[in-house]
Amino acid sequence: NHADCASEEIIYKIDVPANRYDLLCLEGLTAGLLVFLEKIPQSRYKLIYPTSQNKLEKITVKSACMNVRPFVVGAILRGITLTKESYDSFIDLQDKLHQNLGRKRSLVSIGTHDLDTIKGPFVYNAEPPKDIRFKPLNQDKEYNGEEIMDLYAHHAQLKQYLPIIKDSPVYPIIYDSNGVVLSLPPIINSDHSKITLNTKNIFIECTNTDLTKGQIAVDILVSAFSQYCKDKYTVEPVEIIYEETKEVVRSPTLQYRSNEINSDDAVNFIGIKETPQKIAKLLSKMCLKSEVKNGNILSVEIPPTRHDVIHARDIYEDIAIAWGYNNILKTIPKILSVGKKFPLNKLTDHLRQELAQCAFTETLTFALCSREDVSDKLGWSFDQIPAVTISNPKTLEFQVVRTTLLPGLLKTIGANKNMPLPLKLYEISDVVLRDPQAECGARNQRRLCAIYYNKSAGLEVIHGLLDRIMSLLDVPWNVNKTNDGYYLEATEGIVYL
Amino acid sequence: MTSELTENILLHVEKNGETNSLDLMNVFNEDHQKIIGAIKSLQTLDNSRSRCIFAVPENGILQAEIMNSVPYAKVGLSKALVAGWIKLDKSSGKPMVIRNVSTIEDTTQKNLKNFDNLTDNIKADYKKRKLLQEIIVKSVIVKKGPNFATKIEKLETELTSDLLINGAWKEQKFKKYNFDALGSSTDTGHLHPLLKVRAEFRNIFLEMGFEEMPTNNFVESSFWNFDALFQPQQHPARDAHDTFFISDPKYSTKFPQDYLAKVKQVHSKGGYGSEGYRYDWKIEEAQKNLLRTHTTAVSARMLYQLMQKGEFKPVKYFSIDRVFRNETLDATHLAEFHQIEGVVADYNLTLGDLIGTLYEFFKKLGIDKLEFKPAYNPYTEPSMEIFCFHEGLGKWIEIGNSGVFRPEMILPMGLPEKVNALAWGLSLERPTMIKYGLNNIRDLVGPKVDLQMVYNNPICRLEKVNNKK
């Protein structure tokens, strides 16, 4: 049972920022912290090429791939030694990259293979599902593309990825030079090339629809696990040949980007006083190796693990973090400014106070409700109402935005039937109406709604309240029913405001 | 004696017709309870069990029929079966009730006539069958007090205008007023507790010289809600399970074209010193209408409009309004809640300015212990989560989020390069729940609000530290 399998060890659950993919595994997190604490120097990642150029592993991308999953990024980790822990961490990092950066494999899908079980050059193609045939990971027999879809239709994890390619006339597929299938991205790898604790050379292929994200994923994966290679922190590149464009690229690039920032700009932005030398040191703690170039100019090197740095501002942030947010001197902006209420809200505030002075009690109800709440339950057909409808509500309570405040007030009474009578409630808030003239096709309208609930209806109470409101708004009652002021007119049918 | 009384009652009724038990009390000069007792014993003559046996004809009757025609037939039938007076014959398919004896001796009836001698067991059984009832009679002992008098002096309850006019108030004795009770409640109206807190927050912003933004637009386009804030199109927040998308009106089309082109450029190719996200930006994604997920969309519109007026001037904006998230409701989550947002934009603002402003802001809420933690928001860089020390809970809790708007967000709007825009946001509900010690958000917001809580809710003074905890 579960209790027996559970570890006795204390395990920490750590939240990391959504843009720091380098911190998604224990290897990256410990490296980052140790560099921050200046306990270890920052690692430097290197590409190493095989002894002769033509031994470079190649993946040819067939033109058919353009229809389904157009890009691939490759990499090789040579002479690796994995333990149970590092193997689990390797699989776990792939899974996390699939989930967040890869948007559940739709953008990025990584396949890792035991290179010694397959033989390059490799072909990335897209073929009709019926023509694809292989033994998927941990299965006993071969299935074709269609059968694999059926096989995993109810699989707890894999079923969510099927729709990414299911309706495509061709499925992505990777072969080696002997026609052995490596994987059916983004669904499943083949059983043949699976990696184990004994795997010495790992071949990584990462198919994707967003090349930038595919490159980030492979950079993150190889930089975290190249430390287990015989030559630490080295990665062997793979050549990608795009048949469609004749383009030939090598991946991963493990590119170190260099950036220049002005130290004065940085400290002025943060609001601290510090020398360029100290700033360079702070940045180096954040894995952004920096040195003073001349005067205030710092040369900052952005490693391939830090794809989140896309602007000088991102570098400023790292300086502030290294400095410590709580050590920054508090200052107040020197702006002469005049406070001002939004006029509609100002009027609303006045009326809210006045209605409370009329012994009415303010309610606060939801802006979202069911279709019936604003139509059938009030005797209207839904078609007559200019309601804004929600396409994907999680519950039926949130199908539309209210077009009237009345249902909310009635529901409040319904939930408070134990209260002494009479109940006198009001709300002043927004309803939303479709309006083709409005920028987004709908506009808010501020409404006032009051309700009197007692053993007798008390229409004269609500009538009196309306008179009071009009008098507060300085709108006179007009007996002659002309355009000045207000008057009431009897009407038939169902009229609710 | 009981039987004598019951007989007398019967004789009286025979002679005079219908009568009241209270009248009988006078007629016979007897205690009311005794009269009632006698009447009760008369009632038992109409015993359900006896009724049942008498209702059974010589040749038997269908069980269903007797159930319908005789009151208390269910109890009577089962008791009569136990006593062996009748039997059930199910041979014909439909149960028949058949007499077993020709005459009966109703011990219940006998016992009730003479209940003083019954054992406790039988009494308890009769109580259960509601044949006997226990009544507690309270009596009062009357004796002389210190102010005893045979003549009663009447005390005035209240001062009246008559008493004042004729001067009688000087001599008159007044009834004592009970100060150990609540006075009569005033007939009054009430403001909603959450909106009282909102009013306090608005005051704080106004006191700090902030101008209120118009946030009366619940329906927003993805462009202003996400793209304008440099939030990439594959961001998880843009998934349908987090955001309410709108099916009608589904799309927006009226975008400022120049600005739209700049936003597209900075997302897909970069610019303004940024590498961008380097992905294929699609107008179709930007056109999708939704219920705004934050009021930052309005801040973006305000900063854009500010530059449309020609030149930059420093601004301080705030808003407090509803935002929407596609959540399942529970004790701490609502699908709609109020977001408080503050924005300051000027030349050369610093992170220290943001921290200093936040200290001033939270000081007005009675909070002076703050800590800031690095965080990630797509539209602010740097970003800081704001924590405060909660004295009641004895620990640091997160109360808000803040940061400096990214250059990729504000530079395409046309703001000068040296201008920085500081912003922070928090929910209105969370501080309110902490302030009022509420555990369930639904007690506060929505139709299930407890109106009694609204009636009793005190004045809201946020700066006053709550000592109740």
pLDDT tens for each residue of A256-278? 999 999 999 999 999 999 999 99
Closest C-alpha among A183, A113, A177, A115 to residue A148 = A183
Residue-level pLDDT at B401? 96
Mean predicted confidence (pLDDT) in A369-387:
92
Chain B: residue nearest A407 by CA? B447
Closest C-alpha among A310, A308, A15 to residue B373 = A15
- Name the B residues in 390-429 with CB < 8 Å from any A CB: 404, 406-408, 420, 422
Asked whether the beta carbons of residue B336 and residue A268 sit closer than 8 angstroms, the reply is no
CB A250 within 8 Å of CB A57: no
Give B31's contacts (C-beta < 8 A, 6+ positions apart): B25
User: A119 is written with which tokens?
Assistant: 């033989």
Euclidean distance between CA atoms A249 and B366, whole angstroms: 60
Residue-level pLDDT at B46? 46
Q: What distances in angstroms separate CA A105 from CA A57, A162, B277, B400, one per listed residue? A: 25, 10, 18, 32
User: B115 is written with which tokens?
Assistant: 């209940």
Residue-level pLDDT at B22? 76
Q: Does B247 touch chain A (CB under 8 A)?
A: yes
Euclidean distance between CA atoms A102 and A119, whole angstroms: 28
- pLDDT confidence bin for A305, thresholds 50/70/90: very high
Dihedral sign (CA B404, B409, B414, B418): positive
Tens digits of per-residue pLDDT, A401-454? 999 999 999 999 999 999 998 999 999 999 999 999 999 999 999 999 999 999
Angle at B44 between CA B39 and CA B45, to 5 degrees: 100
pLDDT value at A393 more than 70: yes
Segment holding B21, helix H or strand E: helix B21-28
Tens digits of per-residue pLDDT, A99-140? 999 999 999 999 999 999 999 899 999 999 999 999 999 999
Asked whether the beta carbons of residue B406 and residue A103 sit closer than 8 angstroms, the reply is no
Residue-level pLDDT at B221? 97
Chain A contact set for B236 (CB, 8 A): 18, 100, 103
Tens digits of per-residue pLDDT, A185-226? 999 999 999 999 999 999 999 999 999 999 999 999 999 999
The C-alpha of B430 sits at a distance from chain A's nearest C-alpha, in angstroms, of 16
Chain B contact set for A73 (CB, 8 A): none
Residues pairing with A94 in the sheet = none
Residue-level pLDDT at B48? 47
Higher per-residue confidence, A70 vs B67: A70
Beta strands in A16-135 (DSSP E): 46-47, 58-61, 71-77, 108-114, 122-127, 133-134
Give me the sheet containing B61-62, strands edge to edge.
B61-62, B96-99, B86-89
Of B212, B240, B246, the CB nearest to A342: B212
Residue-level pLDDT at B57? 67
Mean predicted confidence (pLDDT) in A478-482:
84
- pLDDT confidence bin for A465, thresholds 50/70/90: very high
Of A100, A339, A359, the CB nearest to B205: A339
Cα dihedral B257, B263, B265, B270 in deg (nearest 10): 160
Residue-level pLDDT at A194? 94
The pLDDT mean for chain A works out to 92
The C-alpha of A11 sits at a distance from chain B's nearest C-alpha, in angstroms, of 23
Give me the sheet containing A389-390, strands edge to edge.
A368-369, A400-401, A389-390, B246-248
Asked whether the beta carbons of residue A333 and residue B373 sit closer than 8 angstroms, the reply is no
- Kindly report the backbone phi and psi dihedral angles of residue A21, in degrees, each rounded to the nearest multiple of 5, phi listed first: -65, -20
Tens digits of per-residue pLDDT, B33-64? 777 777 766 665 544 444 555 566 666 777 77
Tens digits of per-residue pLDDT, B57-107? 666 777 777 777 666 667 667 777 777 777 777 776 677 777 777 666 667
Kindly provide the b/e burial profile for residues B209-233, where b requires at least 16 CB atoms within 10 angstroms of the residue's own CB: ebbbbebbbbbbbbbbbbbbbbbbb
Residue-level pLDDT at B80? 72
User: B337 is written with which tokens?
Assistant: 């809640």
Residue-level pLDDT at A125? 93
Q: Which residue has the tokens 């507790």?
A: B193
Q: Does B221 touch chain A (CB under 8 A)?
A: yes
Residue-level pLDDT at B56? 66
Cα dihedral A164, A167, A170, A173 in deg (nearest 10): 30
Tens digits of per-residue pLDDT, A223-251? 999 999 999 999 999 999 999 999 999 99
Helix ranges, B181-254 (H) = 193-207, 222-225
Chain B contact set for A414 (CB, 8 A): 447
Which parts of chain B sit beneath pLDDT 50? 46-50, 468-469
Euclidean distance between CA atoms B406 and B413, whole angstroms: 12
CB A187 within 8 Å of CB A146: no
Residue-level pLDDT at B468? 47
Confidence (pTM): 0.80
- Name the B residues in 328-387 with CB < 8 Å from any A CB: 328-329, 335-336, 344, 346, 348-353, 355-357, 359-360, 371-376, 381-384
